Amino acid sequence: MLNVREILKTFNLGTINQKIALNKLSLELFPNDFVTVIGSNGAGKSTLLNAIAGNFFVDSGKIAIENADITRLPAHKRADMISRVFQDPLSGTAASMTIEENLIMAYRRGKTRRLRPAIGTKERDLFRVKLEKLGLGLENRLTHRVSLLSGGQRQALTLLMATLQKPKLLLLDEHTAALDPKTAEKVLELTCNVTEQEHLTTLMITHNLDHALTFGNRTIMMHEGRVILDIKGTERNNMTISNLLEMFEKASGAHMNTDRMILA
Amino acid sequence: MFSQIALGTMEQGLMYAIMVLGVYLTYRILDYADLSVDGSFTLGAATATSMIVGGTDPWLATGMAFIAGTLAGLFTGILHTKFKITPLLSGILTMTALYSINLRVMGRANISLLGSRTVFTDFAKFPFMEEYGVFVLCLISVVCLGAVIYFFLQTELGLALRATGDNELMIRSLGVNTDLMKILGLSLSNGLVAFAGSYVAQKLQFADASMGIGMIIAGLASVIIGEVLIGTSSIGRAIFAVICGGVIYRAIIAVVLQLGLEATDLKLITAFIVIIALVSPNIRRSLSSLLKGIQGKEAQ
């Protein structure tokens, strides 16, 4: 499904701040995989997602989706295959535009934008049905500006936008980290529902080790731009948080930022 | 006397409102302060007048002015998106280059259209249009262009353009080439500005290489005045607001001139209007918090 082969990305090459963010990282995702990604700050988790989404080109290596090489494809041309939810609830929606306008833009993800009226009755009805499922009462506020919504509502809307047009790959970059615990649970629940119903292949970054082991079917741990742990099946089922921390210390020879990992 | 001045102000206001619509597209929709406006306004005037003097039909010449403006916007857009030059500098570069181009187009520093056929002399031949022809033609033009922009901003392409100004990262992740959107917005905007320039030159029967100086500031002032007075709760309302802003701005200038200030002081006044408009939200906020403080003390 997704095939990442030995990608290398160095930031600030040749300066004193030179940093290898992705160190010949390889990763393969299979159809319907829901992979949770953990790792300390600066491990390269977000950089990996940015590389897959095409925010920058990798220095070397190859990225392919369903055997199509996308390594040199700019971000906007990958949009028909990949959709994404960011950590910051503000970055996934256009605040000055209405809920229905945001939804229609997502509905046309990866398609050519034409000179025709954007929203019709058919689309509006579809949006109402989809918004009703969120259970936030947004179905009656189609023409409200998104800037009027709370962070949790905006993130739920962003998640709906990301899955409105089924993507081949869904990238979630700590999408619940900026929300209060109750809203975060709600958004996570929505995430699980939609990935199951639509059989989405998903890559989710999280700082919550409990979530990392309970959600999805596979967990990878990153450190210094590499995957240092990749578990699934019974091995994953038998894994505990303390085991995970132990394995991290063994594999990396370093102490993980445990406070944040446990408290998150 | 008074009605003459009022009519003249309305005519001018409506012509400049077309330019303000262009400024609105970049400044508000794309969130891009485009200084090429100063050059493209003159470019429109230069293109139309030199073509009319050369014997071209004035309606066609006006259309060509629009196209010349879009090319200027295209140039600014390419400087910004392809060569990664900052928005302000891209605009200044285009504006500077256009100064020479405008002189080339005109062949000299100014052109007179006295006695030539213009869109306004043509339009005045319609029944009942002798006296109010300029006003009616300008009104029709503004309403039509405003409506076209309104409907355009509701299309798929229009939404993509608005999202580019609002949240570029997001709309790119939804598959829109934001570079192309910026170029499109800048072209349209400068096309409208040049169109307004050609109208103004035909009304004044005169084009001058320096007639566009300060146009961007006048445009910004109009946008802000309109938004403050009328509001921006929807796209339709915002478009109506900036058109009114253009007319009101001209009215303010006319009043100031009637009060006895020199025409040469206009730029200074314009700059002050923009400063007041930009600063007033802050002042209002601190004033209202000050008032609350006083009320709080009284309550105690």
- The predicted pLDDT at position B143 comes to 97
> Does residue B233 sit within a domain?
yes
> Is residue B134 in a domain?
yes
A74-99 burial, b at 16+ Cβ within 10 Å, e below that, comes to ebbebbebbbbbbbbbbbbbbebbbb
Cα A71–Cα B77–Cα B273 angle in degrees, nearest 5: 135
Is residue B272 domain-resident? no
Is the pLDDT confidence value at A259 over 80? no
If you average pLDDT over residues B105-116, what whole number do you get?
92
Query: Tokens 């002032």, residue?
Result: B221
User: Taking 80 as the threshold, does the pLDDT of residue A243 lie above it?
Assistant: yes
In this prediction, residues B111-134 reach a mean pLDDT of 89
CATH number (domain holding residue B134)? 1.10.3470
Question: Closest residue of A to B156, CA-based?
Answer: A118
Which residue type does B1 have? M
Q: Give the number of beta-carbon pairs within 8 Å between A and B.
A: 82
pLDDT tens digit sequence for A136-161: 889 999 999 999 999 889 999 999 99
What is the least distance, in Å, from the CA of B28 to any CA of chain A? Answer: 11
Alpha-carbon span A187 to A247, nearest angstrom: 29
Q: List alpha helices for B107-166, DSSP H.
A: 119-123, 129-152, 156-166
Tell me if A144 sits within 8 A of A93, measured CB to CB: no
A76 contacts on B by Cβ (under 8 Å)? 172-173, 175-178
CB contact under 8 A, A94 and B171: yes
Asked whether the beta carbons of residue A108 and residue B174 sit closer than 8 angstroms, the reply is: yes
- Show the tokens assigned to B260: 């006895």
Collapsing DSSP to helix, strand or coil, B120 comes out as: helix
- Residue A262 pLDDT: 53
Euclidean distance between CA atoms B32 and B75, whole angstroms: 15
B282 has a pLDDT exceeding 90: no
Sign for the pseudo-dihedral over CA of B221, B223, B227, B230 = positive
Q: What is the pLDDT of residue A136?
A: 87
Cβ contact A102:A186 at 8 Å: no
pLDDT tens-digit series, residues A108-135: 998 889 888 889 899 999 999 999 988 8
Above 90 in pLDDT, residue B287? no
Cβ density class A142-168: b for 16+ within 10 Å, e for less? beebbeebeebbbbbbbbbbbbbbebb
The rounded distance, in Å, linking the Cα atoms of B275 and B263 is 20
The confidence score (pLDDT) of residue B202 equals 95
pLDDT score of B151: 96
Contact criterion met (CB < 8 Å) for B173 and A75: yes
Percent over 70 (pLDDT), chain A: 95
Whole-angstrom distance, CA of residue A144 vs CA of residue A127: 14
Does residue B281 form part of some domain? no
Q: Which of B16-25, B89-98, B169-178, B286-295 shows the lowest per-residue confidence on average (mean pLDDT)?
A: B286-295
Average pLDDT, chain B: 91
The whole-angstrom separation of Cα B93 and Cα B38 is 11
Task: Give the pair of three-digit tokens for residue B185.
Answer: 């917005």
Rounded Cα distance between A218 and A203, Å, is: 10
Residue A79 has its nearest CB partner, among B152, B166, B175, at B175
* Nearest beta carbon to residue B163 from set A105, A116, A119: A105
Q: What is the band of A8 on the pLDDT scale with cuts at 50, 70, 90?
A: very high
Q: Cα Rg for chain A, rounded, in angstroms?
A: 19
What per-residue confidence (pLDDT) applies to B10?
A: 93
Are the beta carbons of B155 and A117 separated by less than 8 Å?
yes
Q: Which of A5-14, A62-71, A164-173, B61-70 has the highest mean pLDDT?
A: B61-70
Range of the domain at B165: 2-265
Considering only CB atoms, which chain A residues are within 8 Å of B172?
75-76, 79
Give pLDDT, residue A257: 55
With contacts defined as CB-CB under 8 Å, which chain B residues touch A94?
162-163, 166-167, 170-171
Q: What is the ipTM of this complex?
A: 0.86
Look at residue B282 and tell me if it is in a domain. Answer: no
What pLDDT shows up at residue A134?
86
Would the CB atoms of A115 and B156 count as touching at under 8 Å? yes
Determine, for residues A80 and B155 on separate chains, whether the beta-carbon distance falls below 8 Å.
no
Residue B166: count other Cβ atoms within 10 Å of its Cβ: 20
Mean pLDDT of B22-33: 95
Name the residue among A77, A105, A111 with its Cβ closest to that of B159: A105
Candidates A79, A96, A115; nearest CB to B155: A115
Average pLDDT over residues A89-110: 93
Within a domain: residue B155? yes
Tell me whether residue B46 is in a domain. Answer: yes
Q: In this model, does residue A234 exceed pLDDT 80?
A: yes
Number of domains in chain B: 1
Secondary structure (DSSP) of B37-57: HHHHHHHHHHHHHHHHHTT--
Q: What is the DSSP string of A127-192?
A: HHHHHHHHTSSGGG-TTSBGGGS-HHHHHHHHHHHHHHS--SEEEEESTTTTS-HHHHHHHHHHHH
CB-closest option in B156, B169, B173 to A108: B156
* Closest residue in B to A146 (Cα–Cα): B166
Q: B213-263 pLDDT, tens per residue? A: 989 999 998 998 899 889 888 999 999 999 999 999 999 888 888 888 887
In a domain, B132, yes or no: yes
Instruction: Write out the E strands in A188-234.
Output: 201-205, 218-223, 226-232
* Chain A residues whose beta carbon lies within 8 Å of the beta carbon of residue B170: 91-94
- As a whole number, mean pLDDT of residues A254-260 equals 54
Q: How high is the pLDDT of residue B176?
A: 94
* pLDDT averaged over every residue in chain A: 89
